[in-house]
Structure 1
Amino acid sequence: MKSAQSLTLSILLLAFTTNLPLIFSEAPEEIKDSKGVPISPSGKYYILQFNGGPTSGGGLFLASNGNSTCQVTVMQDYYEGDHGVAVKFSTAGRSSGAIFSGTQLDIACDHRPSCASSSKWVVVSDDFPGKWLGIGGAGDHPGKKVITGTFNIQKYNGGYKFVFCLSTSTCYDIATKDDGETGRRLYSFPTTFSRVPEQVLDSQSSSTSSAEKYYILPFYSGPTGGGVAAGKTGNSTCDATVLQTSDESNRGHAVKCSRGGRKGGIFTGTPLDIEFVDKPSCASSSKWVVVSDNFPEKWVGIGGARDYPGKKIRHGTFNIQKFDAGYKLVFCATTRTCYDIGRHDDENGRRLVLTNKPFEFASYYAPTRDYD
Structure 2
Amino acid sequence: MKILLLTLPLLLFAFTTQADIVLDTNGDPLLPGAQYKVMPVIWGPTGGGLFPGKAGNSAYPVNVLKSFSEVDFGKPLRFLPLIRIGIIPTDTYLNIEFVETPEGVSSGNWVTVKDLGETWTVGIGGPQDHEGFDTLEGLFKINKSGSGYKLSFLPYVNGPMSGDIGTYIDDDRNWRLVVTDEQPYEVVFSKVEVESS
TM range (shorter): 0.7 to 0.9
SS of the counterpart of 2:56?
coil
* Amino acid in structure 2 at the alignment position of 1:295: G
Q: How does 1:92-241 map to 2 (within 5 A)?
A: 198-241=20-63
Change (3 A) 1:294 1:361: closer
Q: 2:114 aligns with which of 289, 292, 295?
A: 292
Measure, in 2, the Cα distance between the counterparts of 1:269 and 1:363.
Answer: 16
RMSD across aligned positions (CA):
2.2
Shift of 1:211: 2.9
Measure, in 1, the Cα distance between the counterparts of 2:117 and 2:158.
Answer: 26
Q: Give the aligned partner of residue 110 of structure 1.
A: none
Q: TM-score, normalised by structure 1?
A: 0.45
Measure, in 2, the Cα distance between the counterparts of 1:285 and 1:207.
Answer: 26
Q: 2:187 aligns with which of 354, 357, 361?
A: 361
SS of the counterpart of 1:340?
strand
Q: Give the aligned partner of residue 166 of structure 2.
A: 342
SS of the counterpart of 2:113?
strand
Measure, in 2, the Cα distance between the counterparts of 1:349 and 1:336.
Answer: 27
Q: How does 1:328-339 map to 2 (within 5 A)?
A: 328-333=150-155, 338-339=162-163
Aligned residues: 176
Q: 1:270 aligns with which of 92, 101, 109?
A: 92
Measure, in 1, the Cα distance between the counterparts of 2:98 and 2:44.
Answer: 23
Shift of 1:290: 0.5
Shift of 1:357: 1.1
Structure 1 gap segments, 5+ residues each: 1-195
Q: TM-score, normalised by structure 2?
A: 0.82
Tell me if the contact between 1:231 and 1:348 (Cα under 8 Å) persists in the aligned partners: no
Greater RCO (Cα-Cα under 8 Å, separation 6 or more): 2
Change (3 A) 1:350 1:260: same
Measure, in 2, the Cα distance between the counterparts of 1:335 and 1:294.
Answer: 21
Measure, in 2, the Cα distance between the counterparts of 1:209 and 1:201.
Answer: 9
SS of the counterpart of 2:103?
coil
Shift of 1:197: 7.9
Measure, in 1, the Cα distance between the counterparts of 2:20 and 2:56.
Answer: 38
Measure, in 1, the Cα distance between the counterparts of 2:19 and 2:96.
Answer: 18
Shift of 1:260: 2.3
Measure, in 2, the Cα distance between the counterparts of 1:350 and 1:293.
Answer: 14
Shift of 1:256: 0.1
* Amino acid in structure 1 at the alignment position of 2:131: P
* Amino acid in structure 2 at the alignment position of 1:363: F
Which protein is richer in helix relative to its size?
2
Tell me if the contact between 1:284 and 1:307 (Cα under 8 Å) persists in the aligned partners: yes
- 2:173 paired with 1:351: no
* Identity rate, percent: 36
- 2:70 paired with 1:244: no
Q: Give the aligned partner of residue 134 of structure 2.
A: 312
Tell me if the contact between 1:288 and 1:300 (Cα under 8 Å) persists in the aligned partners: yes
Deviations 1:204-258 (A, max 9, x none): 1111101310000001100110001111101112111001100110000110000
Tell me if the contact between 1:211 and 1:263 (Cα under 8 Å) persists in the aligned partners: no
* Structure of larger gyration radius: 1
* Amino acid in structure 2 at the alignment position of 1:321: N
Deviations 1:58-108 (A, max 9, x none): xxxxxxxxxxxxxxxxxxxxxxxxxxxxxxxxxxxxxxxxxxxxxxxxxxx
* Amino acid in structure 2 at the alignment position of 1:339: G
Shift of 1:261: 6.2
